[in-house]
Amino acid sequence: MSHAITPLRARPAAAAQSGTTPAEAAIAAFGGAPAVAAVLGVHVTRVYRYTYPRARGGTGGLIPAEHLQRLLATARARGLPLTAEALIGPAEALIGPGEALIGPAQPDVPAQPDALPPPPCQAPAAKDVA
């Protein structure tokens, strides 16, 4: 049973920001998977793997971290419309809409030292030894 690789069609440069996955955004910005492969120094089939779902042995649209800086730097040098957010995807895609990584957003309130609890490990006060 053979699996044919179906190449993605090149999209206009504006699509680089609206690609559904970081891999599609990079491929669209550079004008195709062969161009991305040339920038990264990898075989073109590896770039196509970035577009495959994980169940098929791909990365689910994610670009390996080791390639992100090179892609972003090359895109900037060539004046291509590719942003860091497009390469890693929006935070909502990673954690889900309305969720937060640390906790709910807090309003900007100046710190009040009196209101802070004491540190958890405070050394006992030294006693006078006479």
Q: Say if residue 122's pLDDT is above 50.
A: yes
Q: Name the pTM for this structure.
A: 0.59
The string of pLDDT tens digits covering residues 64-91 is 999 999 999 999 999 999 999 899 876 6
What is the distance, to the nearest Å, from the Cα of residue 93 to the centroid of all Cα atoms in its chain? Answer: 10
CB atoms within 10 A of CB 68: 16
Q: What is the pLDDT of residue 88?
A: 86
| pLDDT band per the 50, 70, 90 thresholds, residue 36 | very high
Q: What is the pLDDT of residue 20?
A: 77
Domain-by-domain residue ranges, the chain? Answer: 15-90
CATH topology (fold) of 15-90? 434 Repressor (Amino-terminal Domain) (1.10.260)
Residue 57, phi-psi category: left (phi > 0), alpha (psi -120 to 50), beta (remainder): left
Residue 62, phi-psi category: left (phi > 0), alpha (psi -120 to 50), beta (remainder): beta
Q: Say if residue 101's pLDDT is above 60.
A: no
CB atoms within 10 A of CB 55: 7
The string of pLDDT tens digits covering residues 41-51 is 999 999 999 99
Specify the DSSP class assigned to residue 61.
Answer: T
